[in-house]
Amino acid sequence: MRPAVQTDPSGGRRSAPPEGTYELVVVANRLPVDRVTEDDGSVRWQQSPGGLVTAMQSVMSGEDGAWVGWSGDPGPAPEPFDEGGMHLHAVGLSEQEVEDHYEGFSNETLWPLYHDVIVPPRFRRRWFDGYRTVNRRFAEVAASLAAPGATVWVHDYQLQLVPAMLRQLRPDVQIGWFNHIPFPGVELFAQLPWRRAVVEGLLGADLLGFQRKADADNFLRVCRRLLGLRTRGGTVDVPGPDESVRVVRASAFPISIDASGLAELSREPEVIERSRQIRRDLGDPEWLLLGVDRLDYTKGIRHRLKAYEELLSDGTLSPPQAVLVQVATPSRERVTAYVQLREQVEVTVGRANGDYGHLGRPAIHYLHQSYPRKEMAAMFLAADVMLVTPLRDGMNLVAKEYVTCRSDEGGALVLSEFTGAAGELDRAYICNPHDIDGLKATIRHAMAADPTEKRRRMRAMRRRVAEYDVQRWADDFLQALQTAPERP
């Protein structure tokens, strides 16, 4: 039964103990809520946007579900509270732990290493110590919340040591882990000085989920080559005490979005009118090209801008007949590589606008800001060509969101072959973003394509996303976890 709830002055609703009663525990770097401070100084929690939260909410409703995560602010953790039908239990991180575990090991070591070393990963022993300490804290909280035989679903690269730590504390629970980003090939992963600790941490799970089969295969190869373990099909044999063997499964579960919710939003008259207004504000261009990304070096924004600049310089495109809108949501602003990327992007945008813009009609509208979901939907609906050109991306939800918003079957998606999404959205205009001439040709192709053909492609992609939405993803993962091979 759900614990009693009482009001908490911090704005959330605090639940009383007992702990150890939750049948489903989600463990993720961040809580699914953001802290909002009102003008009068009072604090409340607001649900963060995003498909994971939506998916988990429906999976957890009717279940006794808890979510363990960091609040996003350094310092002591706020008291546990209930929100949106979930019990939320914050894990506190000190300023130093944010630096070592989060900004350091997670974002400066693992993130670039797992994204094909687009920038060089940095290996610092102190960072790994912080990572281990914080992973242990998450594991301890999860262990204290899970009911006997509960299911614990751990998320992402920031928490790879949690599965083994949790298994040690609570051998009775079913443990799943899902990786939202790519898993690198053995040649790259082998660089990691703590590679064995990471793999052993992951092998504490019963089921390891990856975005693509290729990621799961990379992990299995790492188990064979670096740890000498035996793999069979999509499973690894993990030797235990007294010659026992525990079987861990690694498979692909491509993440998706809340397709019906977003499609509905994009059909609202207010959103449709806003999309028309956006085009008018931009001077009714013949071609509106759009990019929407976190400002991250994995997203291929520089390559995209280079291709666009060349299309302007060779006269293929000329403002105000064509315009590019690039939304670059602020991200990881304390990490050096991100500061440098921002500078490079802004220099390029400034140069393109200086060379090709007109009074009141820039060639590129660059927006280093976040927008409400409705505004994003209106932008998707307004864009003739969506440019999703990451150098490497686990999945890329923006691609799925764009096609989902196009109930009118208009628009065209240019999509990098290095995204997980390309495996499902193979009717997109697929490109290699490293090949600038090829990227330019793909953009030209998408623009020149026959409208009937474009609609056919859009219809096929929309069908795929509608069928395999985030709910299906979560259900499939949890279903597979329940049926993971029994431990001998």
Q: What is the DSSP string of 179-227?
A: -SS----HHHHTT-TTHHHHHHHHTTSSEEEESSHHHHHHHHHHHHHHH
**Least CB distance from residue 265 to ligand GDG, whole Å?**
11
Q: Which is nearer to ligand GDG, 336 or 370 (CB)?
A: 370
**Least CB distance from residue 46 to ligand GDG, whole Å?**
13
Q: Which is nearer to ligand GDG, 199 or 397 (CB)?
A: 397
**Least CB distance from residue 331 to ligand GDG, whole Å?**
8
- Per the CB < 8 A criterion, the answer to whether 155 and 27 are in contact is yes
Spatial distance between the Cα atoms of 235 and 247, rounded to a whole number of angstroms: 6
- Per the CB < 8 A criterion, the answer to whether 262 and 407 are in contact is no
Which pairing describes strands 385-388 and 287-294: parallel, antiparallel, or unpaired? parallel
Q: Which is nearer to ligand GDG, 255 or 349 (CB)?
A: 255
Q: Which is nearer to ligand GDG, 90 or 415 (CB)?
A: 415
Q: Which is nearer to ligand GDG, 238 or 255 (CB)?
A: 255
Both tokens of 41, joined, read 């100084």
Q: Which is nearer to ligand GDG, 131 or 210 (CB)?
A: 210
Strand order in the sheet with 412-416: 364-367, 322-329, 287-294, 385-388, 412-416, 429-431
**Least CB distance from residue 3 to ligand GDG, whole Å?**
31
Query: In terms of Cα–Cα distance, which of 58, 50, 80, 51 is closest to 67?
Result: 80
Token look-up 């590019």 returns 324
Residue 272 to residues 183, 277, 351, Cα–Cα distance (Å) = 39, 9, 33
**Least CB distance from residue 398 to ligand GDG, whole Å?**
4
Q: Which is nearer to ligand GDG, 178 or 356 (CB)?
A: 178
Q: Tell me which long-range contacts 36-45 makes (C-beta under 8 A, separation of at least 24).
A: 42/11, 43/10, 43/11, 44/11, 44/12, 45/11, 45/12, 45/81, 45/83, 45/88
Residue 476 burial by CB count (10 A; 0-12/13-18/19+): exposed, middle or buried?
middle
Binding site for ligand GDG (CB under 6 A): 49, 180-181, 255, 292, 294, 327, 329, 370-373, 376, 393-398, 401
- Per the CB < 8 A criterion, the answer to whether 392 and 184 are in contact is no
Token look-up 């960072």 returns 127
Pseudo-torsion of CA 115, 119, 125, 127, nearest 10°? -70
Provide the H-helix boundaries in 22-123: 51-60, 95-97, 111-114
**Least CB distance from residue 121 to ligand GDG, whole Å?**
16
Q: Which is nearer to ligand GDG, 151 or 389 (CB)?
A: 389
**Least CB distance from residue 91 to ligand GDG, whole Å?**
20
Q: Which residues are catalytic?
A: 180, 393
**Least CB distance from residue 28 to ligand GDG, whole Å?**
11
What's the angle, vertex CA 395, arms to CA 220 and CA 336, rounded to 5? Answer: 95
Residue 139 to residues 145, 162, 204, 225, 377, Cα–Cα distance (Å) = 10, 5, 12, 28, 37
